[in-house]
Amino acid sequence: MKFDIVGAGALGLLFGGELAASGEDVVFWTRSEEQARILTAEGIELGEEAGNYRVIQPDNFEAYCVDSIINRSVRQPDWLIITTKQWHVDDHLFEAVQHLCGQETRVVCFQNGTGHVEAFQAIVKDIPVYAAITTEGSRRKDARSVVRSKPGTTMIGIPARHSPHGVELLTEGKYREGFADQTAEYLTKKLILAGFPALMSKDIDRDIYRKLLINSVINPLTAIWRVPNGDLLVVSERRKILRQLCDEAVEIYRANQIACDNNMFEQIVSVCQSTSRNISSMLKDVLQGSPTEIDSINGRLIEMAHRSGLTAPGHELITSLIKGLQPQE
């Protein structure tokens, strides 16, 4: 099966590297010529927290800079896997994705927040765009090296259609029928063979919004306090703020008729405990001086609050605090 990976950060290198190691036909599309050159020359180094490393030799995959897509004769993959950060999603990336997609191509969009799938679906029209969320933990050490810090589960599904205002409309039709696509079920089998526990979700929207709520509470607080996930629980004042942000998010969901569990705070605590040593992606971005995905996470909650006539003072405050930590524009 032919896989094109757009974005060679930690997640892209991890999934693409393991797929290549399992014998799949993989092409990486990187943001820089330098990274493409390094990958082509030296291969991908995949590591574990225990310190075990192995190298996926460069003859097992190809790597090119995404800027070269328009001027290159490219194949049309079976699966186009997009693992870029939200702030890398722009017209240039849309043009590249259009160039890569053929009639038989399926697109999978990994995301932390919301908005990614809708944006890509508008570009590729009738080509199915799947959403993927994962609890895999990984960190990139350099241009070619990634450490798998915590194996997790990856869920893939076709989202419901969304209204122009961002609230899902559970419609039927060919978009929903894509869930039964045997190719998508085959994808999960390929991921499992590559070492990633994966499954098809019949309600990926609920899964996405559950992850959005959890990320909106954990990620910005770890970035503000510069602590791993587990340290959010060690001080009573931190737990108090966790609870306040969770309660505010739950109220916003209910006002927008978005289903969420009654025990969301307990789920947040459980995630902090099970990923106690993890450094959140938002904290990594802040430490590296990179833009964050705050707008696609907490920003989405704020938009939903305003749309339903609510305020979101807690999420508005932490959004401003995170933006104050980002590089000057």
The domains of the chain, with CATH numbers, are 2-202 (3.40.50.720), 207-325 (1.10.1040.10)
- Whole-prediction pTM value? 0.85
**Per-10-residue mean pLDDT, the chain, length 329:** 93 97 97 96 93 95 91 85 75 78 87 69 76 88 91 87 39 42 82 95 89 96 97 97 98 95 96 88 91 92 97 98 85
Q: Report d(CA 200, CA 255) in Å as an integer.
A: 28
Q: Report d(CA 295, CA 301) in Å as an integer.
A: 9
- Residue-level pLDDT at 84: 83
- Residue-level pLDDT at 113: 63
3-class DSSP state for residue 81? Answer: strand
DSSP assignment string, 6-75: E--SHHHHHHHHHHHHTT-EEEEEESSHHHHHHHHHH-EEEEETTS-EEEE-GGGEEEEEGGGSTTS---
- Residue-level pLDDT at 199: 92
- Residue-level pLDDT at 123: 72
The pair of structure tokens assigned to 20 is 């290549």
- Residue-level pLDDT at 205: 87
Q: Give Cα separations from 238 to 47, 234, 294 (angstroms).
A: 33, 8, 19
- Residue-level pLDDT at 329: 60
